[in-house]
Amino acid sequence: MPKHYRPAGKKKEGNAAKYITRTKAVNYLQVSLAIFRKLCILKGVFPRQPKKKVEGNHKTYYHTKDIAFLAHDPLIEKFREIKVHRRKVKKAVAKKNRDLADRLLNRPPTYKLDRLVLERYPTFVDALRDLDDCLTMVHLFAALPAVDGERVEVKRIHNCRRLSHEWQAYISRTHSLRKTFISVKGIYYQAEVQGQKITWLTPHALQQVLTDDVDFNVMLSFLEFYETLLGFVNFKLYHSINVNYPPILDPRLEALAAELYALCRYMSAGSRRMIGNSQTDEVMEDKDEKSKAEEVIKEEKVVKNKASSKADESELRLAQLQHQLPTNEPGALMNLVEESTADDADDDDTKDCKGLFKNLKFYLSREVPRESLLFIIPAFGGTVSWEGEGAPFKEIDEDITHQIVDRPTQSHVFLSRDYVQPQWVFDCVNARIILPTEGYLVGRVPPPHLSPFVDNDAEGYMPEYAETIKRLQAAARNEVLPLPGIGDEDLDNSLVAAMMDRTASNEAAEKKRKLEMLEKQYIDELKKEIDGVAFSSLSNKEADKSPNAKDDTQSDREEDASKQEEDDDDDIGTALMSRKQRGLYKAMKMGKEKKKEKVELLKKRKKNADSGASSKKRH
Amino acid sequence: MGAGGEEAPRIIVPMAVEGTPNQLAFVEESKLQKRKENVDWAVRNRERRAAKRQRIRDEHKVAVRRPEEFVTAFRNKERDFLRMRTRIKVRSQPPVEALGSRLVFAIRIPGSVDLHPHIRKVLRKLRLTKVLTGVFLRATELTLKRLLVVEPFVTYGFPNLKSVKELIYKKGRGFFDMEPFPLTSNDLIEKALGDHGIICLEDLVYEIATVGPHFREASRFLMPFQLKCPERRLQMKRKPYRDGGDSGNRGDKVNELIEKLN
């Protein structure tokens, strides 16, 4: 470690002074390796790669200033306290001093990571940029079971579940969701919050199995920091839309496994109450809240005295807790849509997303992934319900426009609604239009689910369904803009003209080819007729052979000439380049060739699939 | 400064045959060693844990037992049996229709290991042979009577939809072809219970939560749920819950216990 003075010849200089190995760092900090790892994760310290590895290639190097940074953190002392406390408890248990052990366990040393969040992310936008890994980890642990073998605590899993639901409720409320994709690993979402694109992965709503080859200690250290970070982010985001944080949920909806819906109702009630308030009203409301809390306490005592709690009293208590939350009436979520129309400060993207499923009413069958669709459909302005108690409306409601079904057969069919598979919702979200439902009806194989994260133009390969969606988008744009402005008109016209030009040129080229083929056939037939009429069979054979040979030689000569011209052009181009530029050009060519090969492979697969499908149809 | 520094040995990239400039695809040896080390560590870790469990079991087996232990165990069994008989005779059961729900979730709580054979048999009928395991039961007179028989060793109550859903989604294990399976896909559920109209996990939750016509098959398909021991071991008392203990009927409070253990 750095010394203040050393005589010449005995100093450490260069990489030897700048970098330190992991073993020496652990020894310097006087902590165990596990605690060192945890500290590095929490403080964001990671190994470096010095150009000159002084003590060998096989070692892990840290920057000396990073280790000094760790040494001055209060957490390191706190971790030592925790270790000592654990040892005391173990000793008390070993000496069968149960009272002392209980006393020690009742007062464990605790620490908070709030300071670390503020230290690592000085501004809010920095935190939003780093939120991808945080959200993915929190959503993963929300779906994991609490198993005895691992150190995954029950309280932690419930906290992750709460945080993930709060985040989803905010995204749904502000209509910030932009892209969704169902993959084998889970469901990808992309949202745009304050200008930052945030992408995260949610596991499928099935059981997760913990494997042996994953080190959960490292993941739990990351999770510890990410929980705190997401709590801070949720706090700031909720206050930016005038909603109190943490939210108070309706216990009845919570008991019915509808936390996301309860959060949506809380947010709508909270925003409605908060919008029309001034500062003095807020002060008054604070006093009212205190008095209401006292009343709630009194009522609880009365209820205990009565030894029986009625539904009315519980509802009254709920109303006071929720500050006059509206009752659970059918169409309660319509308030969300009405309120959302009042906001005018949204950007164009949010307006598009807000109006996609507007005036549509969805009903989810039992087998569809409910939490995912409850998150997506309100985020795009739709109203949604499901089977079971606590739902805003029932299946027999006549206003339902779409029912999401994923079962081979349907028992009862209402004629006034479309029965579509869940993929329709995801594809509509990615295309930003209401897609036709014929391809997604119950019992059919839906169209391919395309990834919204792939840029087809850059890839050079446009799937067939993507072209269909593009055409539908163009048609929808024409419908959406009946009286477009001058700029929009020019853009639309130019786009349409470009499309027309491309299609026209393609058709013209095809026609030219056909005409050339027809001309060749005509000429050959004329020659055969002339020869047939004039000469005998032997002369006919000889005559046929000789022009073919001539044509072959001519075509060969032409091909050689064209190849020579192309090679000459390439040589002229590369002759003027330097060696470095020539190498770069070669690398670019190789990259393009690889991409072309990939596209050819996709096309070949598509041909095989089509031929397979056609053969099946024949059978 | 005369020593200087040794240069790092450069990695010699393997070339294709006949000296063409294309290099073969390769992975560094250190990375391959690391992968192998990870796999070996996983195997060693699993074996070490199994050996630890076996060692603990062996230590308990080999312990010397004195005659007082046998006498105490016998007396405890007899006392439990007599209390059970008195409980059945004296306690009046409320009718099934008066209960708040038709779904019961029973949890085996930590207690004595000295069980009377009759009580042990009833616990096996309820599939509660291990501590901190739970099963879903339909609230019938027979079930309630059985729960009354084993009251000091079991706590039960009426779970809500959230508890049912979380238990099945996180801790559910299907029993199919004489083997337990985690419910990681709907195909297994459809194979096992498709004849009864249950084709996915949510159907299973619905059947259990609403005590549908195929509740028995669905409940039998689910193995007993292994609940997690909390951080501070519960001080489980054998007195009934309404008398300040932890056993017996908890009513709706079983949801709090499930949330603590799941």
Read off the pLDDT of residues A405-429 as tens digits, 9 standing for 90 and up. 887 765 667 778 888 889 899 999 8
Neighbour tally for B117: CB within 10 Å: 9
Q: Of A223-227, A275-279, A555-559, A566-570, where does the model show the most confidence?
A: A223-227
- Residue range B51-65: average pLDDT? 80
User: For residue A292, is pLDDT > 60?
Assistant: no
Cα–Cα distance measured from residue B111 to residue B114, given in angstroms and rounded to the nearest whole number? 9
Instruction: Give contacts of B7 with chain A, Cβ < 8 Å.
Output: none
A16 CB within 8 Å of a chain B CB: no
B162 CB within 8 Å of a chain A CB: yes
B197 CB within 8 Å of a chain A CB: no
User: For residue A379, is pLDDT > 80?
Assistant: yes
> A161 to chain B: nearest residue by CA?
B166
- Residue range B117-132: average pLDDT? 87
| Ramachandran sector of residue B132 (left: φ over 0; alpha: ψ -120 to 50; beta: rest) | left
User: For residue A218, is pLDDT > 70?
Assistant: yes
Instruction: Give contacts of A52 with chain B, Cβ < 8 Å.
Output: 5
A256 CB within 8 Å of a chain B CB: yes
**């109190």: which residue's tokens?**
A244
Instruction: Give contacts of A367 with chain B, Cβ < 8 Å.
Output: 199-200, 202-203
**pLDDT averaged over chain A?**
75
Answer whether CATH 3.40.50.10190 is correct for domain A357-459+469-477: yes
**């009343």: which residue's tokens?**
A295
Instruction: Give contacts of A407 with chain B, Cβ < 8 Å.
Output: 199
Question: What is residue A577's DSSP assignment?
Answer: S
A53 CB within 8 Å of a chain B CB: yes
Residues A460, A434, A331: CA angle, nearest 5 degrees: 145
Instruction: Give contacts of B33 with chain A, Cβ < 8 Å.
Output: none
User: For residue B73, is pLDDT > 50?
Assistant: yes
Contact check, Cβ <8 Å, B30/A58: yes
Q: Tell me how close the Cα of A365 comes to any Cα of chain B, in angstroms.
A: 10
B171 CB within 8 Å of a chain A CB: yes
Q: Which of A15, A206, A386, A404 to mutate to test the interface with B (most CBs of B within 10 A)?
A: A206
A153 CB within 8 Å of a chain B CB: yes
DSSP three-state, residue A207: coil
Task: Answer whether residue B55 is part of any domain.
Answer: no
Domain ranges of chain A: 11-72, 118-271, 357-459+469-477, 578-618
Q: Nearest Cα to B27, choosing from B36, B40, B19, B39?
A: B36
User: For residue B83, is pLDDT > 60?
Assistant: yes
Q: What is the pLDDT of residue A343?
A: 46
Q: What is the pLDDT of residue B51?
A: 94
A172 is written with which tokens? Answer: 């749904």
Instruction: Give contacts of B232 with chain A, Cβ < 8 Å.
Output: 105
User: Using 50, 70 and 90 to split pLDDT, how confident is the model at A276?
Assistant: very low
User: Using 50, 70 and 90 to split pLDDT, how confident is the model at A482?
Assistant: very low
Residue B88 phi, psi (nearest 5): -65, -35
A293 CB within 8 Å of a chain B CB: no
Contact check, Cβ <8 Å, B203/A207: no
Question: What is residue A356's DSSP assignment?
Answer: T
Q: What is the pLDDT of residue A551?
A: 57
Q: Nearest Cα to A174, choosing from A243, A272, A241, A247?
A: A241
B88's CB contacts (< 8 A; 6+ apart) are B145, B148, B149
Of residues B5, B42, B226, nearest to A212 (C-beta):
B42
Cis ω before A246 (30° cut-off from 0): yes
Residues 24-53 of B with CB under 8 A from A: 30, 38-39, 42, 45-46, 49
Contact check, Cβ <8 Å, A213/B183: no
Number of compact structural domains in chain B:
1
Of residues B165, B184, B230, nearest to A257 (C-beta):
B165
User: For residue A470, is pLDDT > 70?
Assistant: yes
User: Using 50, 70 and 90 to split pLDDT, how confident is the model at A460?
Assistant: confident
Q: What is the pLDDT of residue A2?
A: 59
Q: Which helix (H) or strand (E) holds A63?
A: strand A61-63
Q: What is the pLDDT of residues B207-226, one digit of tens each?
A: 899 889 989 889 979 989 98
Q: What is the CATH number of the domain that holds B100?
A: 3.30.1390.20
Residues B102, B105, B110: CA angle, nearest 5 degrees: 150
Cα–Cα distance measured from residue A229 to residue A41, given in angstroms and rounded to the nearest whole number? 13
Cα–Cα distance measured from residue B188 to residue B251, given in angstroms and rounded to the nearest whole number? 33
User: Using 50, 70 and 90 to split pLDDT, how confident is the model at B122?
Assistant: very high
Task: Answer whether residue B39 is part of any domain.
Answer: no
Q: What is the pLDDT of residue A280?
A: 39
Instruction: Give contacts of A154 with chain B, Cβ < 8 Å.
Output: 228, 230, 259-262
Cα–Cα distance measured from residue A449 to residue A112, given in angstroms and rounded to the nearest whole number? 44
Q: Which of B30, B171, B228 to mutate to test the interface with A (most CBs of A within 10 A)?
A: B228
Task: Answer whether residue B102 is part of any domain.
Answer: yes
Q: Of A270-274, A375-379, A533-537, B82-86, where does the model show the most confidence?
A: A375-379
Torsion sign (Cα): A226, A227, A232, A233: positive
Task: Answer whether residue B10 is part of any domain.
Answer: no
A105 CB within 8 Å of a chain B CB: yes
> B232 to chain A: nearest residue by CA?
A105
User: For residue B105, is pLDDT > 90?
Assistant: yes
Half-sphere exposure of A612 (CA within 13 A, CB side): 6
Contact check, Cβ <8 Å, A154/B228: yes
User: For residue A11, is pLDDT > 90?
Assistant: no
A580 is written with which tokens? Answer: 């470095």
Cα–Cα distance measured from residue A362 to residue A393, given in angstroms and rounded to the nearest whole number? 10
Neighbour tally for B122: CB within 10 Å: 21
A507's CB contacts (< 8 A; 6+ apart) are none
Q: Tell me how close the Cα of B90 comes to any Cα of chain A, in angstroms.
A: 25
Contact check, Cβ <8 Å, B160/A154: no
Contact check, Cβ <8 Å, A153/B231: yes
Which of A9-18, A149-158, A353-362, B16-25 is the least confident region? B16-25
Residue A40 phi, psi (nearest 5): -60, -40
User: For residue B52, is pLDDT > 90?
Assistant: no
User: Using 50, 70 and 90 to split pLDDT, how confident is the model at B191?
Assistant: confident
Q: Which helix (H) or strand (E) holds A314?
A: helix A311-321
Domain that holds residue B148: 65-171+222-259
Which of A192-196, A521-525, A540-544 is the least confident region? A540-544
Q: What is the pLDDT of residues A299-353, one digit of tens each?
A: 444 444 444 334 444 444 455 454 444 444 444 444 444 444 444 455 677 877 8
User: Using 50, 70 and 90 to split pLDDT, how confident is the model at B17?
Assistant: low
User: Using 50, 70 and 90 to split pLDDT, how confident is the model at A216?
Assistant: confident
The CATH code for residues A11-72 is: 1.10.1660
Of residues B45, B228, B262, nearest to A148 (C-beta):
B228
B91 CB within 8 Å of a chain A CB: no
Q: What is the pLDDT of residue A480?
A: 47
Half-sphere exposure of A192 (CA within 13 A, CB side): 11
- Residue range A479-492: average pLDDT? 43
Q: What is the pLDDT of residue A36?
A: 94
User: How many residue contacts between A and B have a Cβ separation below 8 Å?
Assistant: 79
Cα–Cα distance measured from residue A173 to residue A354, given in angstroms and rounded to the nearest whole number? 10
B172 CB within 8 Å of a chain A CB: yes
- Residue range A235-255: average pLDDT? 82
Contact check, Cβ <8 Å, B184/A206: yes
Specify the amino acid at residue B200: C
Instruction: Give contacts of B5 with chain A, Cβ < 8 Å.
Output: 52, 54
Q: Tell me how close the Cα of A217 comes to any Cα of chain B, in angstroms.
A: 14
